[in-house]
Copies of this chain bind each other. A is one copy, B any other.
């Protein structure tokens, strides 16, 4: 029984712990593929083209964005980062599952282009906990803390647009839940090539 590949989008507020969770799940599911991003940032020593990133210049990046070759993109610290459509689509065409972690806006962009992806929202334990973390970093003014908390409240409300929601109050539990979601989505009849039965 053949199953189709699909894209899993892991998103949530920046403090939710997306990268840590993703790392764990990738370690435990060796068949799961990580979506390689494109960036205009120059390669750092040891970084490999096509494994860590697809390194492109700004002109080519902008062209990819204009021609819908990026599922989502954003500027961060003066460089452009995006999710190339061709990589995701080639993994899916091979029958595999590919996962990406993006912020709330990135997930929104991807949903417009791939509505049949699996959208998973990672929820931080609480706004109190988030507030503590920001204060403990000691890097924000009172005004900037207020702005960050306002943004977090907005981002928390985005959860209703997702398929699944995982509460990140226990990393082992969250890992099990994300793995279960991927395994269950694999079993969807919609993603299964049903053979013709005859006798």
Interface residues of A (CB under 8 A from B): 1, 120-121, 123, 127, 131, 149-150, 152-153, 156-157, 159-160, 162-167, 176-177, 179-181, 183-189, 192, 194, 197-199
Contact = CB atoms under 8 A, between A and B. Distances in A.
A160 B188 CA distance: 10
Contacts of A179: 180
Contacts of A165: 1, 187-189, 192, 194
B188 A153 contact: no
8 contacts: A121-B189, A157-B197, A159-B194, A165-B187, A165-B188, A177-B184, A180-B181, A184-B184
A179 B179 CA distance: 11
A152 B180 CA distance: 30
Contacts of A180: 179-181, 183-184, 187
Contacts of A162: 189
A157 B157 CA distance: 41
Given A162-B189, A165-B189, A199 B127 contact: yes
A181 B187 contact: yes
Given A164-B184, A165-B194, A176-B183, 11 more contacts: A1-B123, A152-B199, A153-B198, A159-B189, A160-B189, A163-B188, A163-B189, A165-B187, A177-B183, A179-B180, A181-B187
A150 B197 CA distance: 10
Nearest to A148: B199
A102 to B, nearest CB: 17
Contact of A164 (B121, B153, B189): B189
A153 B13 CA distance: 49
B166 A199 contact: no
Nearest to A187: B164
Nearest to A181: B184
